[in-house]
Amino acid sequence: MKDWEADKKASDVYLHEIKMILGAHLIGEPPIAEDQERNTDLIVMKMDSVRIACRVRKESYFERYGHEFTIRSGRPSGNKTELRKVVEGWGDFMFYGFGDGEIIKHWSLLDLKVFRSRLFSMALKNQVPIQKGNHDGSSSFMSFSIQNFPSSLVVASGDGVPLNQSQADNQRPQKPPQQDKKK
């Protein structure tokens, strides 16, 4: 459990910044009728619980591995890993970034439904990536090349936190949020 706690502590450094980035992509402006009739100035893109996995790697890995993302697939303790949780259907999105220990430099928001679909297809064809061990022996992982997935895998991506509204709008998915007709 100590390996998990150390990994959690290292990634929690970025939570505030991740929330700022996700807000720009998961909260949108509603149609004018929503404001006029329902007192709605902002709307969350989905009304159900949205589960987001977060993974931030060292920035030094970006140049060599910026075209791929990794998911933990094994722990010496045998504890359930991120990959197993995703395969079981948990998680809607994955925030995947590269940071310098203080600031996220590069990031992508990945749709885990698209990932699961492609992963199951790869498994049927016996094309699942080989599990690799971390150099410190704390866990193992599988790496996936973004190019091997449909373009719909990447919901948004960027360098750092959007600095202004026009940058955030350029990153926001173009699909308008679904409206809840109740209430």
Res 45: pLDDT: 67
Rounded to a whole number of angstroms, the distance between the first and last alpha carbons of the chain is: 44
Res 141: pLDDT: 93
pTM of the entire predicted model: 0.74
The answer to whether the CB of 28 falls within 8 A of the CB of 68 is: no
Res 1: pLDDT: 53
What pLDDT tens digit does each residue of the chain (183 aa) get?
Answer: 567 787 778 778 888 888 888 888 888 888 888 877 777 778 776 667 788 999 999 999 999 988 999 999 998 988 889 999 999 999 999 999 999 888 899 999 999 999 999 999 888 888 888 889 888 888 899 999 999 999 999 999 988 654 333 334 444 444 433 444 443
3-state secondary structure 131-176: CEECCCCCCEEEEEEHHHCCHHHEEEEECCCCCCHHHHHHHCCCCC
> Which SS3 state, helix, strand or coil, does residue 81 take?
coil
The answer to whether the CB of 98 falls within 8 A of the CB of 61 is: yes
Res 163: pLDDT: 38
